[in-house]
Amino acid sequence: EFYPQTTHNTLFLLPSFPSHHLCSDLFGSVSRIEGKGMGREPMDLAAAVALLLLCFGIAGVASDASDHRYKKRDSVPLYANKVGPFHNPSETYRYFDLPFCAPEHVTEIREALGEVLNGDRLVDAPYKLNFLVDLDSKQLCKKKLTKEDVAKFRSAVTKDYYFQMYFDDLPIWGFIGKVDKEGKDLGDYKYYLYRHIHFDVLYNGDRVIEITVHTDPSALVDLTDDKEIEVDFMYSVKWKETSTPFEKRMEKYSLTYSQTHHLEIHWFSIINSCVTVLLLTGFLATILMRVLKNDFVKYAHDEESAEEQEETGWKYIHGDVFRFPKNKSLFAACLGSGTQLFALTVFIFVLALIGVFYPYNRGALFTALVVIYALTSGIAGYTATSFYCQLEGTNWVRNLLLTGCLFCGPLFLTFCFLNTVAIVYSATAALPFGTIVVIVLIWTLVTSPLLVLGGIAGKNSKNEFQAPCRTKKFPREIPPLPWYRGTLPQMAMAGFLPFSAIYIELYYIFASVWGHSIYTIYSILFIVFIILLIVTAFITIALTYFQLAAEDHEWWWRHPSSLVIWLASAMASSLCLAWLASVQHCCLYGTSIDPSSV
């Protein structure tokens, strides 16, 4: 279930999907960034954006567009990426932060925007693998480790550090050493460094199909004592032919996650969610319709007797129901930002379903998030400003600024904190200056202008708020309500059913984001997303009616964010580090805005 599938002596390289390399290359060309500088010229960026939709349209027929073909003795690219503790994938450092064999001049690979955001820092690896050339115990380098180097390696081995590389665009992981726990006392532990790595490569014709990497258990370096050690690093390469075609080289690995027992869990979750939808639909169809029918009969049965009776329930507050909410500018901004995030989610699902995103397609998802968020900012501006004007708001410019900063503001503050921490610890999560400049330029030259254009269009739409009845001049006093009809209890009840519909998928998503497992069943996730929307809409309708029946007319702010309480509890239960907490708080903040669009 969890990737990388490794032991301390056997490591597996998982090939990437062979299809859609054109989309992968195009995402990479949106903004190529060197580790210490800016990216490509503006013409490359403009061309990439112009071809973005074309790439998405032909993604399904571009499965053989790869040029991963080699002749005998051709050098196959092998890039070292990063190292970090196995039990905390979010904590990663540059490969040569550990004293491995390094060339005199480390060559940094140009990376796409999404790769940099993902924390990838590719450099040329010291290992040289030529196509169809076998090597037996070739010396990589002979290095004298100082006491400080030994201490670094020992600390890394203690924390189960792994390294990540890419061979012909295929990811590879491996542990750098092992701990031999001879006794119960920590003083009896032995720390060893692997110094010999074996590469077993499968090929078909002129293409790489699969690679298996394992370490030599007899070639160990004792790191237990603080003393200088001279280490002879070695590696071996063995090429073997296979009949597996290039187009199917990922099938055996993609099926690992989609095993029968995993799929059964997902489908049981969907069945449970569908039952919830049916029960909720039945509840609305029977209870609410019966109650509403009785209410209409009671109010329309006899006009004369109705005049003598005192109005009760939702009929009593018909003149206050459509009273504009408090903080209407903030409410409109939440609606606009939520609509944009909803559109962003739909676009991401569309790209996932047509096959643009696949495991180990470095940075494609992050690049898509940045580009699509920038291109959908006009939706936020139009929705927020048009609704704000319907609420008879006058300062639409202020509302537009609030809409633009509502999500980006907290996200920017969180980024500043996390990036500062990453810089202090020299982690790969720290963004280079060039990447920050590119993101600022995207926000300045794309997001902001589209937001303003959308706001102007929304202001000029001149849609009027058409209430079915006249709103009274003075608000009616809300009667005392039982505790279970208060804001927090109703938000908790409103969030329970939507959360119960998605909590199984949340588990697998968290395991993918914060662990080593992969999530590829986008079709099931999309079904769960649709169920979530239906359940959220239904439960909101029901609880809004009960709130109005209790003569509480302040319904605007109560129900849109009810699901957030349950998402917060789910996220809080999965937190182990403050780093993850900060990132998840940004995701939670986005989800708190998104349901308002429903």
Task: Please give the average per-residue pLDDT across 57-61, as a whole number.
Answer: 36
pLDDT in tens, 179-225: 988 767 777 789 999 999 999 999 999 999 888 888 888 889 999 88
Most confident of 106-110, 501-505, 506-510: 106-110
Question: What token pair was written down for 159?
Answer: 């924390």
Lowest mean pLDDT among 233-237, 254-258, 347-351, 371-375: 254-258
Task: Name the residue with higher pLDDT: 247 or 260.
Answer: 247
**pLDDT of 142 strictly over 70:** yes
- If you ran DSSP here, which 8-state letter would residue 109 be given? P
Output the pLDDT for position 420.
93
Output the pLDDT for position 579.
38
Is the torsion defined by CA of 488, 494, 500, 505 positive or negative? negative
The pairing of strands 111-112 and 177-181 is unpaired
**pLDDT of 51 strictly over 80:** no
Indicate the pLDDT class of residue 255, thresholds 50, 70 and 90: low
Question: What token pair was written down for 588?
Answer: 């939670």
Task: Name the residue with higher pLDDT: 79 or 254.
Answer: 79
Output the pLDDT for position 476.
75
**pLDDT of 29 strictly over 70:** no
pLDDT in tens, 64-113: 335 788 999 999 999 999 999 998 888 899 999 999 998 888 888 888 88
Output the pLDDT for position 359.
66
Short-list 477, 472, 501, 488, CA closest to 543: 488
pLDDT in tens, 433-491: 999 999 999 999 999 999 999 999 999 987 777 766 777 777 777 778 788 877 778 87
Output the pLDDT for position 321.
77
Coil, helix or strand for 91?
Answer: coil
Spatial contact of 157 and 177, defined as CB atoms under 8 Å apart: yes
Output the pLDDT for position 574.
40
**pLDDT of 571 strictly over 70:** no
Task: Name the residue with higher pLDDT: 319 or 425.
Answer: 425
Spatial contact of 172 and 166, defined as CB atoms under 8 Å apart: yes
Indicate the pLDDT class of residue 423, thresholds 50, 70 and 90: very high
| Long-range CB contacts (within 8 A, 24+) of 181-188 | none
pLDDT in tens, 328-363: 899 899 889 989 999 999 999 999 888 788 766 778
Note the pTM of the prediction, 2 decimals. 0.78
CA dihedral 428, 432, 436, 439 (to 10 degrees): -70
- Tell me the average pLDDT of the chain: 77
Per-residue exposure over 241-278, b if at least 16 CB sit within 10 Å of its own CB, e if not:
eeebebeebbeebbeebeeeeeeeebeebbeebeebbe
Lowest mean pLDDT among 21-25, 194-198, 384-388: 21-25
Output the pLDDT for position 284.
75
Alpha carbon of 461 to those of 96, 302, 387, 391: distances in Å? 57, 43, 10, 13
Task: Please give the average per-residue pLDDT across 372-391, as a whole number.
Answer: 92
CA dihedral 364, 365, 368, 373 (to 10 degrees): -160
Distance CA 320, CA 210 (A): 68
Task: Please give the average per-residue pLDDT across 278-291, as a whole number.
Answer: 77
Output the pLDDT for position 578.
36
Spatial contact of 194 and 216, defined as CB atoms under 8 Å apart: yes
pLDDT in tens, 527-555: 888 888 888 888 888 888 888 877 777 77
Output the pLDDT for position 183.
67
pLDDT > 70: what percent of the chain? 75
Alpha carbon of 264 to those of 134, 259, 269, 450: distances in Å? 44, 9, 8, 44
Output the pLDDT for position 560.
57
Indicate the pLDDT class of residue 313, thresholds 50, 70 and 90: low
Output the pLDDT for position 103.
84
Output the pLDDT for position 311.
55
Question: What token pair was written down for 351?
Answer: 């790209």
**pLDDT of 369 strictly over 70:** yes
Lowest mean pLDDT among 28-42, 188-202, 433-447, 511-525: 28-42
Task: Please give the average per-residue pLDDT across 261-270, as a whole number.
Answer: 77
**pLDDT of 17 strictly over 70:** no
Coil, helix or strand for 72?
Answer: coil
Distance CA 166, CA 169 (A): 5
